Chains A and B, each alone.
Chain A
């Protein structure tokens, strides 16, 4: 635990400003001790020093009836469960300490205590809902984990709902989250490594991977990047994401964030690495490629042809969401020759009285949609639907009637918006929504030529993007035809017998020896 070298700053997290420590009143003796031999009071005071003036740090003195020795219990009242202390420490102590000493009790397993000799650890243990037990033997102390149970129920994440499949989701508790993963991957190869980041926040992050599958290079890379973080606080998973991702200037998300344990488990088995956070239901998966964002758990629960179809639709939506408004602008203001004759008079008449250039029209409507989206997220669900009505019906209809925007533009914008929200991942959807603006500008400047240059640069950006050393646009660039069957389409389970090449997994083959039964004719 090398991360805990500066325990003095810990006190900031306990927000009490009271000058007088309530617990001090019990033991005034402790303060006048001889330097040479540390007494139990010395130790306790020493531990308590950085916590000075926080009122929820409790010291409880117990005199053991057997040998008159004293035991001190230290805990932070707000994050421990008193009942646990009672059950785990006090009861066995009073029952048994008559006969034998503390240490032997522990050794016998009657007391669920951990023995520590390193005093510097005391503070961090305290902050992690441990109760510390100090005895007259000042060389060591004991700790027991007594966390208060403040977790919420396991529910399906609202932002990643699926039709079929498991409906549980991560919550704000690391051990529960890990339990949800372990429940799915019951293998000793599943490795969990804890890191605590943030000098003050001490956010616990668990790096989870499957040992004989994940490429150790990527694991090391992830671990090194996490280790290198030196920040006062990592408050949200987003902070961590930005601290370790490869290209912070890119529009594209470089790790999948999900609240679904099934998604995490499946990705772990492919050879990816997951970061699970304490205090946040979001887990991150890395290294990822572009197509990971377009996969949904639903694909695997649907019949494979249907799953493939939906996946193709989603990928198609990527181009629609980015390119459709741009193509529309380029067409009506540069190359209307490409519109077939049957359509052109229709389009022309719908555009005839629009005072603004198509770019402005499109910008106006796209921004309106973004406004509606933003508003409906912030508002409680009941008012949210009102916004949808106001936005969708009133604005959409009125703006056409007022002659500000053409009918066609409304259709284009609506299709684009739908296409952008098809993406199963929120971050990717946001990236796509942002990207359409440069494309619209390019189209309004140079027509199709502008769009072509836009797409060229976009595709090349994707080609040269790496996440943790793995190519981002993987099964396509570098091309790996075998991997296309779980990225462009969703091939049947029994066909997928290789793990993705870009992850360079230790064990490439998947033993999908299914459908080996004899068909009865």
Chain B
């Protein structure tokens, strides 16, 4: 394992790249649909919440150094219950991967490739993913680091919106009411998902525990800020009444921009965005592969890769309507809120109460 380890800096990029994904495009819309222009407050609340989850994840993994969640669970829950939870977690991560694929397919199909069959769009991503996860976390982290500057391109393009913004649209603050703001932050948590892959990748990180914590928590913070920037930008670019009918406000905004050497910046944005989605998808696919490896007691996770990709791809083809994807999104949101946001805290509590850590298990 040691030669494939990643540094805490690479962990940071891994978390950032995993978190930034499909959510970038639709987050302003989903926030707005509940919390109106106060959606950005929901986002901040969600950002604070996931900081706690990050802390819990880190604390949990710190008790079991170099163990992934799939190895930790049997230790704190007992063998059988741990197995059950492993299955649940693997399916949960698979569900996220599938949802990512479906949403990516939906957006690409709607914005660039109108006629291309959906299975082509999905499987090109799925098979690229299976190629990527045949490597070790170290190479993945290197790749993520390499493509991170592209995020700046995305942000730079969005920055151009400030030529025509109406700051007054944000006012008055708090018109949606506290309950709506809270409800909406669950949507924000879903968009910020990605920190949960730390459950697996922390096992491959070398370095002091403090630095690891800094990496994940700072990573999540950065992503929260980036999202905040995007959300606020769209909120002040579009009229509040307009956002309701625009599911992908960021793209819509970019569509109107034109420069003297290039027009239709949304196409450029989308192309770069695909890489962001791919990195999220690959991270989750890797986690699923690790889960499958544990469940089937495989020698390495690589052998499972093509089957997982095929599985995810096939299921992602099924929903071909916007509404169906929305329904899936809702279910996965709920489960992820629980499995990624809350349950790490619970596991940590269980581990603390049952006094399980690496040494404790050795004696029992």
Contact flag (A, B; Cβ within 8 A) = yes
Please report A residues at the B interface, Cβ cutoff 8 Å.
Answer: 334-335, 337-341, 446-449, 451-453, 456-457, 459-460, 463-464, 471, 473, 476-479
Identify 6 new A-B residue pairs, CB closer than 8 A, beyond the known A459-B146, A460-B132, A478-B10: A338-B267, A446-B113, A448-B271, A449-B274, A453-B125, A464-B139
**Residue B143 lies at the interface, judged by CB distance under 8 Å to chain A:** yes
A334–B270 Cα gap in the complex (Å)?
Answer: 14
Q: Could you say which residues of chain A place their CB within 8 Å of the CB of B268?
A: 338, 448
Cβ–Cβ contact A337 & B264, under 8 A? yes
Q: A341-B263, A449-B108 are in contact. Are A456 and B278 (CB under 8 A)?
A: yes
A459 near B263 with CB under 8 A, answer no
Complex Cα–Cα for A471 and B143 (A): 12
B128 CB contact (under 8 Å) in A337, A448, A457, A473: A457
A446 near B147: Cβ-Cβ < 8 Å: no
Are A337 and B275 closer than 8 Å at their CB atoms?
A: no
Q: Contacts of A449 on B, CB cut-off 8 Å? A: 108, 112-113, 121, 124, 271, 274
Q: Which residues of A sit under 8 angstroms from B320, Cβ to Cβ?
A: none
List the B residue with the shortest CB-CB distance to A334: B112
Q: How far is the CB of B325 from chain A (nearest CB, A)?
A: 19
The 8 A CB mask of B94-119 against A (1 = contact, 0 = none) is: 00000000000000100011001000
A-B contact pairs, 12 of them (CB 8 A): A335-B112, A337-B263, A340-B261, A446-B124, A447-B112, A452-B274, A453-B128, A456-B275, A471-B142, A476-B146, A477-B146, A479-B145
A448/B142 in contact, CB under 8 A:
no
Is B152 interfacial (CB 8 A cutoff)?
Answer: no
Q: Does B175 make an interface contact (CB < 8 A)?
A: no
On chain A, the residues within 8 Å of B278 by CB distance are 456
B258 contacts chain A at the CB level, 8 A cutoff: yes
A457 to B124, CA, bound (A): 11
Chain B residue at minimum C-beta to C-beta distance from A341: B263
Known contacts A335-B267, A478-B145; A453 and B139 CB within 8 A of each other: no
Q: Which of B147, B264, B270, B271 contacts A459 (CB 8 A)?
A: B147
Contact B145 A446 (CB under 8 A): no
Residues of B within 8 A of A340 (CB): 258-263
A460 contact set on B, CB distance < 8 A: 131-132, 135, 139, 143
CA distance A377 to B212 in the complex (A): 56
With A and B bound together, what is the CA distance between A340 and B278 in angstroms? 29
- If the complex has contacts A340-B260, A340-B261, are A448 and B267 also in contact, measured as CB distance less than 8 A? yes
Bound together, the chains give a CA A506 to CA B146 distance in angstroms of 27
CA–CA, A432 and B108, complex, Å: 29
A446–chain B nearest beta-carbon distance, Å: 6
Instruction: Please state if A463 and B271 are interface contacts (CB–CB under 8 Å).
Output: no
The interface residues of chain B lying within 8 Å CB-to-CB of A457 are: 128, 131
Q: In the complex, A453 Cα to B261 Cα: how many Å?
A: 24
Nearest CB on A from B316, distance (A): 16
Tell me, in angstroms, the Cα distance from A335 to B113 when the chains sit together.
10
With A460-B143, A477-B142, A477-B146 already in contact, the answer to whether A452 and B271 are too (CB < 8 A) is yes
Residues on the B chain within 8 Å of A338, using CB: 262-264, 267-268
Distance in angstroms from A473 CB to nearest chain B CB is: 8
Q: How far is B142's CA from A464's CA once the two chains are assembled, in angstroms?
A: 9
B residues adjacent to A (C-beta < 8 A) = 10, 108, 112-113, 116, 120-121, 124-125, 128, 131-132, 135, 139, 142-143, 145-147, 258-264, 267-268, 270-272, 274-275, 278
- Selected contact of B113 from candidates A337, A447, A477, CB within 8 Å: A447
10 nearest A-B pairs in the assembled complex, by CB-CB distance: A477-B142, A337-B264, A464-B139, A448-B271, A463-B143, A463-B142, A477-B146, A452-B271, A338-B264, A464-B135
Q: Closest approach, in angstroms, between the C-beta of B37 and any C-beta of chain A? A: 31
Q: How far is B141's CA from A479's CA once the two chains are assembled, in angstroms?
A: 10
Is A335's CB under 8 angstroms from B143's CB?
no
* B-chain residues with CB within 8 Å of residue A447 when the two chains form the complex: 112-113
For residue B132, which residue of chain A has the nearest CB? A460
A40: shortest Cβ distance to chain B, in Å? Answer: 59
A456 and B263 contact, Cβ closer than 8 Å, known pairs A447-B112, A463-B146, A477-B145: no
B124, B143, B270: the one contacting A453 at CB < 8 Å is B124
Residue numbers in A under 8 Å from B147 (CB-CB) = 456, 459
Which of A448, A459, A477 interacts with B112 by CB under 8 Å?
A448
Question: How far is the CB of B155 from the nearest CB of chain A, in Å?
Answer: 18
Q: How far, in angstroms, from A289 to B264 measured CA to CA in the complex?
A: 37
User: How far, in whole Å, are A447 and B109 apart by their CA atoms in the complex?
Assistant: 13
Contact B143–A339 (Cβ < 8 Å) = no
Least Cβ–Cβ distance between B251 and chain A, in angstroms: 13
Residue of A at shortest CB range from B3? Answer: A469
**Docked complex Cα distance between A273 and B261 (Å):** 46
Complex: chain B residue closest to A339, CB-CB: B263
Nearest B residue to A455 via CB reads: B275
Chain A residues, Cβ within 8 Å of B116? 446
Complex Cα distance, B260 from A341, in Å, reads: 9
Within the complex, the shortest CB–CB distance from B192 to chain A, in Å, comes to 24
Closest Cβ neighbor of B139 among chain A residues? A464
Residues in B with CB closer than 8 Å to A334 are 112
Bound-state Cα–Cα, A397 to B3, Å = 56
Question: Which residues of chain A are near B139, meaning CB under 8 Å?
Answer: 460, 463-464
How far, in whole Å, are A460 and B264 apart by their CA atoms in the complex? 28
Residue of A335, A452, A477 with most partner-chain B CB within 10 A: A477
Determine the distance from Cα of A464 to Cα of B137 in the docked complex, in whole angstroms.
Answer: 11
Residue of B124, B145, B270, B271 ringed by the most chain A CB atoms within 10 A: B271
Q: How far is the CA of A453 from the CA of B124 in the complex (A)?
A: 8
How long is the Cα–Cα vector from A452 to B131 in the complex, in angstroms? 15
- Chain A residues whose CB sits within 8 angstroms of the CB of B267 once the complex forms: 335, 337-338, 448
Cα–Cα distance between A446 and B109 once the two chains are bound (Å): 11
Q: Is the CB of B145 within 8 A of A335?
A: no
How far, in Å, is A323 (CB) from chain B's closest CB? 12
Q: Which residues of B contact A448 (CB under 8 A)?
A: 112, 267-268, 270-271
Residues from chain B with a CB closer than 8 A to the CB of A476 are: 146
Measured between beta carbons, the chain A residues less than 8 angstroms from B275 are: 452, 456
Decide if A335 touches B264 in the complex (CB within 8 Å).
yes
B120 to chain A, nearest CB (A): 8
**Nearest CB in chain A to that of B112: its residue:** A449
Q: Which residues on A sit within 8 Å (CB–CB) of B142?
A: 463, 471, 473, 477-479
A244 to chain B, nearest CB (A): 21
CB pair A459–B108 under 8 Å, yes or no, is no
* Chain A: minimal CB distance from B1 (Å): 17
Say yes or no: A459-B143 contact (C-beta < 8 A), given A335-B264, A337-B263, A338-B264: yes
Complex CA gap A459/B131 in Å reads 12
| Complex contacts, B128 vs chain A, CB 8 Å | 453, 456-457
Residues of A within 8 A of B260 (CB): 340
Please indicate the chain B residues that have their CB under 8 angstroms from the CB of A337 in the complex: 263-264, 267
Interfacial chain B residues near A453, Cβ < 8 Å = 124-125, 128, 274
- Residues from chain A with Cβ under 8 Å of B146 in the complex: 459, 463, 473, 476-477, 479
B145 contacts across to A, CB distance below 8 A = 477-479
For the complex, what is the distance from the CA of A473 to the CA of B135, rounded to whole Å?
15
* Most chain A CB atoms below 10 A, which of B116, B146, B259: B146
Complex: A451 Cα to B124 Cα, angstroms: 12
Q: Given the complex of chains A and B, what is the CA–CA distance between A128 and B145 in angstroms?
A: 53
Residues of A within 8 A of B124 (CB): 446, 449, 453
With the chains together, A479 CA to B261 CA distance in Å? 32
Contacts of A452 in B (CB 8 A): 271-272, 274-275
In the bound complex, CA of A464 to CA of B272 (Å): 21
* Cα of A449 to Cα of B274 in the assembled complex, Å: 8
**Distance in angstroms between the alpha carbons of A447 and B268 in the assembled complex:** 12
Nearest CB in chain B: distance from A457 CB, A = 6
Which residues from chain B contact A473 at a C-beta distance below 8 Å? Answer: 142, 146
CB distance from B180 to the nearest CB of A (A): 37
Contacting residues, chain A, for B272 (C-beta < 8 A) = 452
Bound-state CA distance A83–B272 (Å) is 72
